[in-house]
Structure 1
Amino acid sequence: MHVYNIHDAKTNLSRLIEEIVRDGEPFVIAKAGKPLVKVVRLEESEKPAKRTGFLKGQFKVPADFDTMGSSEISDLFEGQQQ
């Protein structure tokens, strides 16, 4: 396993990421010779799931959602009490 100091890792980060994605070989980033972090490639199953649309079908939005309470809101902006 390769060990890179912080400066080298920062300078060559794009290349190091390409290598780890291609080869799957993890590497270590060290500071003053002391290992700090191990960088590993994520496996397909480890990648976070997409959250867009995760509540689809769980609730219904009223058809008049855009105009609900518009008269009350208008009255409040105009300083009229109900």
Structure 2
Amino acid sequence: MLTVTIDEIQQNLTSYLQQVAAGESIIIMQAGKPIAEIKPVSATSQQIRPYGLCAGEFIVPDDFDSPLPEEILNSFEGK
């Protein structure tokens, strides 16, 4: 894991991003303290989830898109 300052990353952003793309993680430091981490996107987060992944997992009621009851609307409006 590479550690760099804000100034270093501003001056060489493209170079550091190439390192991240190659699999390296970078910690950005400010005043000697870590403030951010840049890391490669994992292969699993790049995969497209298939349509219907949760099919049959829950049931949407028939009145799902009907207006809310008056007492619930009033509580949202602070009445």
Tell me which interval the TM-score lies in, with the shorter structure as reference length.
0.5 to 0.7
- Pair member with larger Rg: 1
Provide runs of 4+ in structure 1 moved above 2 Å. Answer: none
Residue type at the aligned position of 1:33: G
Structure 2 letter corresponding to 1:31: Q
Cα distance in 2 for residues equivalent to 1:5 and 1:38: 11
TM-score normalised by L of structure 1: 0.52
**Aligned-residue CA RMSD in angstroms?**
1.8
Equivalence for 1:18: 18
Once the two structures are TM-superposed, the CA of residue 48 in structure 1 deviates from its matched residue by: 8.3
Provide structure 1 residue ranges, at least 5 long, that are not aligned to the other structure. Answer: 50-82
1:38 CA drift (Å):
1.0
For 2:30 and 2:21, the matched residues in 1 are separated by 23
Fraction of identical pairs, as percent: 23
